Structure 1
């Protein structure tokens, strides 16, 4: 170990080498075997504290310093190497300067014209002038920082300035470029570690499983390629010239200030110290009927939860019991077994087997028994089926929040609409199931939306109540307004909102996307994801429509197979090209509440037409010549005759 005998100290000083705190941000994060280098996290260490000659800190970018362990005495390397008598100093040429030991008396430096005490200094006996050690070693107080190609010089004294690294204004020590005077970084940012674990720097209020790497810019092109992510702590956007911490493999990005702040973010009043979770802002026992979203699977929905809480409407029934329901011309039979009378089997809804069984009331899958079926179902004369709870719906809804002036009545088919297809006033999706409506005002809602609660909770924003509102805010699930060519902020849609955090999701995104879903393209259940998946390095492509998508919008994902799908594409169990996401640009399958399969006869064509969703192969409408793909259409299964919904309606009426 190098040693130095210095005139300022009675013991020999040893040279101590410091860790290099910064590495190039573009170096590989993994070694040749693909393992992450976990030992690369180097935290800042002040080592010898401050230099006993100039009283300035000894930082890691000084690379080395001299130290006496027995006395805890430290010197910058450049302070230790200044001569005791200095001949011909560039700031005072031609004269001999003698080194003087620190004194408690205040002395004024003739170079900076500032008073100092308790630091070493030089004295010119000829001019009787004083020069403090910081001015004497000024030319040595420079660093080479990997964020900038030029050398940075320390600005002495405490100054108030904006830092070009984090964009914030600081009071303290700064380093300035000797070539580019506008490049100025605070000592705090200059000492940021090349890698860190965010939970260790934020009191656990933010957590991530991988070390975050310091990056000295985040260009707009790079942000655009990552679908314009926001900071995972404060949820604000990034400036291209400011530094960030990032984990590219998880698409996890944070501002340097957010990644290193011991003071919690705006959510701090709801956070448990060190837990990284929000405080619950409601009492569970006081919310006995609180709806927790998302629902478990396709067979679970709001109407089922609501009706099961009203057990007086669901009486004790037995297999084979008959029910005369106003929605259907034939008696209904309660089907409570896997095999019905006459040994005729009815297959439950199963996407894995491409079997579809939808309730004619709520148009939701029937995945379990018991349910009601038409008594003529045995001979395949009528395929009418109802959930048990859909058969026991109340006949009216009073004081509905969306239309409080009139009572809404149960309508098995909306009378003024062709085949009963109407647009729900709440979720804004077309439906041909049961409705609650006011025929006088032509206000209609599907039977699920008729029982929307005033408040819910959701896994995407846990522990905070979300309240039903009508708003023009951007949905946190589908970012619907961001994708529109012209944003009309006057358009207000129903959704759920957290007033504390300004978190908002549309009604459809909150209630129509189950936690788990099955699809024939993957043998495992797919889980609903609210952000990019950890360790998913590749881009995200939907396995159904094969389009690339933004992982900051909600999507379904199988971690076993590493397959992802649009939330709008997953419900489809027929041809892949029936996906509607790219066309309608929404997170919910456009025809989620429409039951296809009905047939009708129109004049001028010899065959019956079937109600289906249009495919690319269906071409154009026979009447209006518009493309039929992604639309509700009627087509002949025996020839190439097809009409869109509006044209078929005009011909029948």
Structure 2
């Protein structure tokens, strides 16, 4: 052991040349004070045993590093990330940088260990990597170990390390031996103007061969910076022939300078095409393995990939996702039963939006989702319409009616909205159900629900929180058998295609990648129903707002109103909260009394919990019922505060038990539309 200068430390340091010296010194598990990794020889240790350690390479790291992979500017060694950073991520390994980083003003950051590691790779100084021992036993990721599969990726080409020799993970570096010996410059047939140079993919441009962009711009690539031309290391020598089970013939590689249009997806490719001479088609590499049949959330049937279609087979050629026309001379996904068509890249761009139908399940029939929730029809009228029925939600017969004048102030026990159309009612108790709600199927796939294969089952659970609108409700819901999530009857009816909006003259189309302001609430949203003809967009939760509601501020029903036509006042106020109201945003209004109020003020916190209904949970001995606005605001049995909002009251007359819903609520107090839940 030799004593050296302190490298900024208050005590002298000792150099440990090997692990034996380190063990004899008494070092157990310790971390390097610069890179934060487990310390290993050669390293420096504090002579006073104060717990300070430095890898030798970390101690001798230059304050300014001219890195061959980034020739534009030098990398500066900083003790901590710049103060303007909310999070600093290493552009080589992708992990968070917390201290001692190499930084460049063009937004490149590296752990000290990553910067030095790649510098020595670039300079072919493999002897400097002796503390990263080269492991010769092969590590295979084909043994089913998922953790190993995730971790064992080469930091150069980002391909699996299976059956390749790689650097030890003692310092968390994984690199194929062949990637450690890559030439710094090379000439490539796809870019004859200049040689390609190994560099960091700092601009995050897509690879010109495979068209893919690596997430977080990690690792190194071959590139020509003046031409913005980059190729992944794995794509420098693409496979000359590819066979895939989705196509009956092999594809042969054609390297070319001129661009081409991919016959599989209809978008442009540049330098590497794969051709099937038998079928006379030319495709991107990634399009060779396009799934033949998929199930998209945007459509109720499976859709199949085809390379071309005859236009006369379709009534419309607009993609049901982006609403732009599909060129049928190139590949698309289509449904022959419905004449529905999708761009390939729209249908497959997000794994959440589709799943692949495996070949063994291609002929499998979908589950029966047409079983009605009406358990028995007792009577029908001359038109064959069911007038008296039994429904699984209720114990008595219910009768069909359209007498909205008499029952228009009643709530549907399914969707929890005011009765507004033909409905069934029970003559023995206060049970009402819209005809449309009564006829819903017991099983239904819901396109915006996250579980891949789930058909949700209609249920009458006591109380639930809808996963889309986030409101609590005690009506009917569709419940997922996989995750247990609920979707209320209002949200289950939301379609992924066109909707009419009373506040706008044109139909609104759903845009998954919308980025703008909702005209109803004024909030910036990432999903919306939007008009193709004009600048009008409404987010999904605003499209679901009740058109008629009741509120204690007015004796009449309030109607959802889409723009204020009263110009007599420069200021518009809410009659509930008495604060200013934006006349361009949707609000609730009574034309008789000229009452106007914010949507949030009218709906309140619990608009879809029906008062008088039974609460079946809790530990009270007697049944509890939901009540609102009890006279004189009696005190809550649990907290002692006045019950001003939703509460639970004992149904037994002699029992004075009364409790805030918030004191009983196991679901939390935040709620959907009022907290700005996005779709």
Q: Which of the five TM-score ranges fits, normalised by the shorter chain?
A: 0.3 to 0.5
Larger radius of gyration: 1
The structure whose RCO (Cα within 8 Å, separation 6+) is larger is 1
**TM-score of the superposition, structure 2-length normalised?**
0.36
